[in-house]
Amino acid sequence: MSRIGKAPIALPAGVTVTVKDNVVTVKGPKGELSQAINPDLNVAVEDGHVVVTRPTDDREHRAQHGLYRALIHNMVVGVSEGYKKEMELVGVGYRATSTGQVLELALGFSHAIYIKLPKEIKVEAKTERNKNPLIILESYDKQLLGQVCAKIRSLRKPEPYKGKGIKFVGEIIRRKSGKSANAK
């Protein structure tokens, strides 16, 4: 039995879950999310908990049991609390500014990069003296937030020699010594 799959999902106050035609819809104070699930799996809402069960112990059913339970859990947490990611720009002259849903990045290229973000994501850019600029992204959709963060990070990945690039706050970049350290 999947240890993740068999754990019931507790529903906080103000969150409702409905299952109709293999689509699970979760509504909460922050928004509404829906996810299509495998018709073989059974999702039941019972006295403040959501339970996902599988019909057999086939490899396919075992794999999807934990997956769909995790996806539903992420939706419940998202519409009740939301998700937040902080990204840091490390590098001389790297800047970030946000106006509405547009994020402007100066990453050492000859031109500025403009990213139009989906309406589900709130963006804030902070710049303090003697600190690296921060981009703070908030959303109730964990998948969309991760996808947008990956897109922003792909514009200038952290490099291992000087550590320059866009990284998550708290992320540790494995550093390499340059060629001068090896020649002796």
Residue 139 and residue 149: Cα distance in Å, rounded? 11
Q: Of 94, 76, 149, which is closest to residue 118 (Cα–Cα)?
A: 149
**175 three-class SS:** coil
pLDDT value of residue 2: 61
pLDDT tens figures, 158-169:
999 998 999 999
Residue 118 and residue 167: Cα distance in Å, rounded? 21
CA angle 131, 134, 137 (to 5 degrees): 165
Q: Within the chain, which residues score under 70 in pLDDT?
A: 1-2, 181-184
pLDDT value of residue 183: 58
Q: Where are the beta strands (DSSP E) in 8-128?
A: 9-10, 16-20, 23-27, 32-36, 42-46, 49-53, 83-90, 95-99, 102-106, 113-116, 122-126
Alpha helices in the chain, H assignment, sequence order: 59-80, 142-154, 179-182
57: DSSP letter: -
Residue 61 and residue 129: Cα distance in Å, rounded? 53
Residue 7 and residue 105: Cα distance in Å, rounded? 42
The pTM of this model reads 0.88
pLDDT value of residue 184: 58
